[in-house]
Amino acid sequence: MALKIVKGSIDRMFDKNLQDLVRGIRNHKEDEAKYISTCIDEIKQELKQDNIAVKANAVCKLTYLQMLGYDVSWAAFNIVEVMSSSKFTYKRIGYLAASQCFHEGTDVIMLTTNQIRKDLSSPNQYDTGVALTGLSCFVTPDLARDLANDIMTLMSHTKPFIRKKAVLIMYKVFLKYPESLRPAFPRLKEKLEDPDPGVQSAAVNVICELARRNPKNYLSLAPLFFKLMTSSTNNWVLIKIIKLFGALTPLEPRLGKKLIEPLTNLIHRFLSSVIAVLISLSSGMPNHSASIQLCVQKLRILIEDSDQNLKYLGLLAMSKILKTHPKSVQSHKDLILQCLDDKDESIRLRALDLLYGMVSKKNLMEIVKKLMVHVDKAEGTTYRDELLTKIIDICSQSNYQYITNFEWYISILVELTRLEGTRHGHLIASQMLDVAIRVKAIRGFAVLQMATLLDNAHMLTGNTQRNGICEVLYAAAWICGEFSDHLEDPLQTLEAMLRPKVATLPGHIQAVYIQNAAKLFATVLRAQEGVPDSQKAQETSQLLIDRLPLFVQSANLEVQERASCVLQLVKYIQKLQQKEVAVAEEVSALFAGELNPVAPKAQKKVPIPEGLDLDAWINEPPSESESEDEKPRAVFSQEEPRHTRPRHTEVDEKELARRREARKQEQANNPFYIKASPSSQKVYPEVPGVEHIPVVQIDLSVPLKVPGMPMSDQYLKMEEERRQKEKEEKKKKEKKKKKEKRGRGRKHESGPESEEDITPAHTVDIVTEEMPENALPSDDDDKDPNDPHKALDIDLDKPLADSEKLPVRTHRPTDILKSPVEGAELESVSQEPKKKSKKDKKEKKKDKERKCELNLYLKPPDYGFMHLYIPTASGTTLSPLQSFAHSDKITKHLCFCLLQKFSKHKKKKQKKEKEDKKKKKRHHRHHSDEGGDESVQNGTVEEEEPLPVSIQSTTLALLSVQVYDIQGNLQDGSQVVVSVIFENKSTSFLKSMEFNVLDSLNSKLQRPDGAGPHDGLSVPFQLPPGVSNEARFVFSVQSIVMPQKLKGTLTFIVKSEESSTHEKLDFKLHFTCTSYLITTPCYSDAYAKLLESGDLKSSSVRLEGVSMSFHHLLARICFHHHFSVVERIDSCASLYSRSIQGHHVCLLVKTADQTVSIDAKCDEPSLLGNVLDEIKQTFSMC
Amino acid sequence: MIKAILIFNNHGKPRLIRFYQYFAEDMQQQIIRETFHLVSKRDDNVCNFLEGGSLIGGSDYKLIYRHYATLYFVFCVDSSESELGILDLIQVFVETLDKCFENVCELDLIFHMDKVHYILQEVVMGGMVLETNMNEIVAQVELQNRMEKSEFVFISRM
């Protein structure tokens, strides 16, 4: 053994260490790669040795090689070995290597869990520190889950060195394992007041990162941060806190006012804070114009500063202010424009960004003109491209809001085509297309401009690279073809489009050329056929027949196909022409019809029709014997129709790839299959051979300006003149007005020209893009579903439930497996024998009595009250004595109340309380003989009319249970969340509450994994006397078209000082169809489309004798049945709602003489029927 | 959050790279090349902030860098970090290096990449700023080095 060690250390002396490696690489500059590969071989040998020192040295060298770009993941296992060394020196090397090259996909990470846990609890703080640092770089969801509890313990470590690292790493843990946030948050909050500044700063850091994404959950921390801000001297902490307030103030305007004083104090203290302060102020205070003015003034000073960094930050802050206070920034336009001349690109880009927000109808032309000057001056292509995109962005923003003259815009676009070497040809092209298609009034002008462009195409074809400027020819050709009616000389354009030089353009552009040449041909024919001289028409045909063969030979399949198609067509037409047959009509019919723009997201918004399952196989999947076992299971498990939007599963792609592979194999083995060979490539060369194309001499005398092109400046001048004229006219008019009304006109005149004064040069009809019929109104398209911070949007103020505790791993695996539910079950079993006799008695009692039944009625939620039949209620077979004894000892009164979520509003609460009082009085009268301190609670939130109350009780309320919210889960159309508030009204302690529901085929209570279908859910809290708490239960519902009732029981233990008893209550949960509806706003046009679509079944209902006002009636339907009013005209209104599974429900409500007729449409007739029944019931109850 | 810390010399040779988000090795090299290309063409008298690196992040990210003699120190950060704060941090980091290596120069970084990493680990952890107080950083680094030395003596005695 000793010998081995000695041998190992002798070996080591001959090994290269890191310094030797670096030196070696520096000495082998010529054959570096070769040298490194021999080094890697050496390292591989070293890693095979048993000596940990040798291994560590090897891993250290690998870390260096990783920096140079070598993949070292093959050594991952050796890295883990070095990490687990007991020596700090080696451990550190191991963790460093791991942090550099481990990631979520590294499989050996699984092996590290126990090692890391051991290191975290090491008595040596530096072992712990190294483990924390390493872990922060490669934490995975599994590691986070397994180690969260250990790290949380470290947050209270005695050494601040460990505490601050543990606090900081928690953020990474939260990201990977969001469930840990709530349990860990109290301790994190505690660390904000840690005596060590480093720990404090770490805690601030973590909370700021958390709050940045979900600020509203952290509002309650504002006072604490306020205190920190006024007391802390750490610059870093201050900046973070101020940034945090920047995120919080928009949510709580009062904060802004409070902040002004401490912030102004800070301005005097630190320079770096100044910027942060200004930035946060700007985003923070909505209505503090004085301080905003001050800010902008200060920023101006910064921007004028010679320090480039301050200038940059000033502009950055300015852009933040711009978002909230555009007016106050716009006055500094001169300064911003000046910054465009700065030598520093970062600053120029910032200034450009600002300009984007500063444009108005008034100054757009002027600003763009300045930008065009910069475009000409700009040296680097990157900056010039940036300018170009910015110009287009500025002009096209918010649906061309600021453009008053589209002729000007077209000429700007045309001028931009002169840019050499730009990569944004495609962008310009799409703008041209967009404007020409959507602004009908401009088409004539646009077509003329495009024709000029086509005519001068040789100017643009110099750059044929992808996305180069030649892309605009694509747009030009299409516009000229599609709107050829506007052309002055279509024949000339046709000729231009068929020049041989066109063949040098990229394939997709040539294809458009040919297609549109055909369109032009149709137009030309129509014009020429009226003329007696038929020779001309034939000449045109001949032109096409002469020119098209060039394209038929094109290498591009698309071009080839279209060209030969058109060629054959023209040949046929020529034949007909020779027979003097009029063909123009028929040829133009080929291209009749208008193409409308379609919104970019339209395809995504088309709802998938009922019953269509895109994932289902059309035919039985082919059985392939060779890869049977690797066939993905998912394909089969999704056979049941899914209502959620199907995803394009990877499976299909894999499948395709596999088949493709198989086919290739087959083809390769098939001697009859003609493979792609060099000989066939000769016929269709992939790249058009440049040398075969006749070179057209470019006339170099042509000026660098496209001839005949109107300069955009002209328009600027014209526009100014026009505005001047308009102004004068207006003044004249106002003078006239003034003569009529003296006092009022004055204010108007003195003010500067306002936005509204500028009228567009010609009225422009911007065609909106089309959306599919019955597109789903949703705005959440832009949200990234993969954002890890979405999972961290967690309410942190709610009390912590037992079930949320972090999993603690113990040594015995049996303990780990046991879920809390099972534990609860054990407990209840042990209690059962004791109470069996009592239970039996009760059971018998129940048989005699009417079944004890609680009806948890989830009808229109606020009507939903429950029918409650308690064994001790009057009218039961209980003897008075028994019932007396019963009520004396443990009285149970469960009252399920249904409160609409709106009832949380104060007003209604007050009303409700009033009503409750009223009812109490009534009950008192009713049951005056029974006396006693009764407390009846019912859930009728109905505002005017009291509902028939079916709760009869002589007993003291023990436990009040309110179902206060039933919410369909919009994300998951099969989930309904029932929120229940349990309130202990007795003087005893209630515990071990267990909520259980007998599942039906359709509806199931969601239980934790591993629990059986009959296990109850333990309510995750106990109730001391007078305390209430809320629990949520998730039900999965398959079909929502029918109302459902679920039977259930609530068991609980009542523990008083002398005894404890096990109690049980049966109840019924009633889900109405209304509770599956979710109030969804709908625009009238979408609504109309929905109705027109014809997919909806209709049904109607009449209500007689409704005496309430129409307004009241609508409010009632909306409120109780979750509808929203789409449109209302007199005594007729249309309403809309959506079910959690996406069914549309449309109502048309009309009223006349106390009769209300409701015509309804829905894509699911039985759902509609039930909803209507429920509406009817609502009105029959009043 | 800090997404990456890159140190390279005037010729774009990496001297230390530390990514806080996973990128494959070839991507890392591409990012270094792009960053070097962006940073190196800038004069010394322009501002220290740079937007438009296309490979990391997107619009929310910017590069904050300082140029010392032959080395560029580049931090890629998102908008939650204060620009001047990071500039300050780079200064703290470099001063710490200076203390630990006594008149630090490029050669120190070349031959002791591992030590530079250990120092950086006490400044930034997992992309978040751990400590900004230079004395504290130096103290912790020295304590750890001392521990390593004591172990080394122990090992070599064996």
Phi-psi region of A616 (alpha: psi -120 to 50; beta: other; left: phi over 0): beta
Q: Which residues of A1123-1132 are buried (b: 16+ CB within 10 A; e: fewer)?
A: bebbeeeeee
Angstroms from A25 CA to nearest CA on chain B:
11
Task: Name the residue of chain A whose CA is nearest to B120's CA.
Answer: A133
Please, which pLDDT band fits residue B11 given cuts at 50, 70 and 90? very high
Contacts of A47 (CB under 8 A, 6+ apart): A55, A58, A59, A75, A78
pLDDT digits (tens, 9 = 90+) for A1118-1175: 777 888 888 888 788 888 888 888 888 888 888 887 888 888 888 888 888 888 888 8
The closest CB to that of A5, out of B87, B128, B158, belongs to: B158
pLDDT digits (tens, 9 = 90+) for A877-928: 333 333 333 333 322 222 332 222 333 333 444 444 444 444 444 444 444 3
Distance CA A744, CA A748 (A): 8
Which of A82, A232, A346, A348 best tests the B interface by mutation, with the highest count of B CBs <10 A?
A346
- Residues 487-526, chain A: which have Cβ within 8 Å of B? none
- N- to C-terminal Cα distance for chain A? 95
Average pLDDT over residues A331-347: 83
Angstroms from A460 CA to nearest CA on chain B:
28
Are the CB atoms for A209 and A173 separated by under 8 Å?
no
User: Which range among A34-48, A57-71, A686-700, A966-980 shows the weakest confidence by mean pLDDT?
Assistant: A686-700
Q: A346, B136: Cβ pair inside 8 Å? A: no
Q: A272, B85: Cβ pair inside 8 Å? A: yes
Q: Is the pTM of this model over 0.80?
A: no
The closest CB to that of A275, out of B84, B126, B133, belongs to: B84
Q: Considering only CB atoms, which chain A residues are within 8 Å of B82?
A: 239-240, 243, 272, 275-276
Average pLDDT over residues A1109-1118: 81
Q: Report how many Cβ contacts below 8 Å link chain A to chain B.
A: 154
Phi and psi torsions of A981, nearest 5°:
-105, 125
Contacts of B101 (CB under 8 A, 6+ apart): B108, B112, B115
Angstroms from A75 CA to nearest CA on chain B:
14
Alpha-carbon distance values, A1112 to A193, A1106, A1117, A1180 (Å)? 54, 11, 9, 15
Q: B148, A88: Cβ pair inside 8 Å? A: yes
Q: Considering only CB atoms, which chain A residues are within 8 Å of B131?
A: 164, 198, 201
Tell whether the torsion through CA atoms of A550, A555, A556 and A558 is positive or negative: positive
Q: B128, A206: Cβ pair inside 8 Å? A: yes
The closest CB to that of B113, out of A64, A69, A92, belongs to: A64
Q: Considering only CB atoms, which chain B residues are within 8 Å of A393?
A: none
Q: B126, A133: Cβ pair inside 8 Å? A: yes
Q: B126, A136: Cβ pair inside 8 Å? A: yes
Angle between helices A271-284 and B83-101 (to 10 degrees): 150
For residues A509, A510, A515, A521, the Cα torsion angle rounded to the nearest 10 degrees is: 120
ipTM for this model: 0.96
Which of B19, B91, B122, B128 best tests the A interface by mutation, with the highest count of A CBs <10 A?
B128
Q: A126, B80: Cβ pair inside 8 Å? A: no
Please, which pLDDT band fits residue B57 given cuts at 50, 70 and 90? low
B48 touches chain A (CB under 8 A): yes
A244 touches chain B (CB under 8 A): no
Q: B16, A165: Cβ pair inside 8 Å? A: no
A36 touches chain B (CB under 8 A): no
A137 touches chain B (CB under 8 A): yes
Average pLDDT over residues A967-973: 63
Q: Which of A1154, A1091, A1149, A1143 is nearest to A1125 (CA)?
A: A1149
Give me the long-range contacts of A713-719 (CB less than 8 A, separation at least 24). Answer: A713/A369, A714/A411, A715/A365, A715/A405, A715/A407, A715/A408, A715/A411, A716/A365, A716/A366, A716/A369, A716/A408, A719/A365, A719/A404, A719/A405, A719/A408, A719/A761
Angstroms from B29 CA to nearest CA on chain A:
6
Tokens of A1077: 């509806």
B82 touches chain A (CB under 8 A): yes
A95 touches chain B (CB under 8 A): no
| Residue given tokens 């129409």 in the structure block | A1110
What HEC string does A177-196 produce? CHHHHHHHHHHHHHHHHCCC
Distance CA A1091, CA A1134 (A): 11
Higher pLDDT, A766 or A225: A225
pLDDT digits (tens, 9 = 90+) for A580-628: 777 878 888 888 877 777 777 777 777 777 778 778 888 877 765 554 4
A502 burial type by CB count under 10 A (0-12 exposed, 13-18 middle, 19+ buried): buried
- Residues 57-76, chain B: which have Cβ within 8 Å of A? none
A173 touches chain B (CB under 8 A): no
pLDDT digits (tens, 9 = 90+) for A58-69: 999 999 999 999
Tell me what the pLDDT averaged over chain A comes to: 71
Are the CB atoms for A795 and A217 separated by under 8 Å?
yes
Tokens of A794: 């967690």
Specify the length of chain B in residues. Answer: 158
> What is the identity of the amino acid at A482?
E
Angstroms from A89 CA to nearest CA on chain B:
5
Are the CB atoms for A989 and A1024 separated by under 8 Å?
yes
Higher pLDDT, A744 or A601: A601
Share of chain A above pLDDT 70, in %: 65
Q: Can you give the pLDDT at residue A393?
A: 86
DSSP state of A501: G
Alpha-carbon distance values, A1026 to A474, A959, B32 (Å)? 76, 9, 64
What is the biggest distance separating any 2 CA atoms in chain A, rounded to whole angstroms? 118
Which of B22, B121, B133 best tests the A interface by mutation, with the highest count of A CBs <10 A?
B121
B80 touches chain A (CB under 8 A): yes
Q: Can you give the pLDDT at residue B116?
A: 93
Q: B47, A100: Cβ pair inside 8 Å? A: no
- Residues 678-707, chain A: which have Cβ within 8 Å of B? none
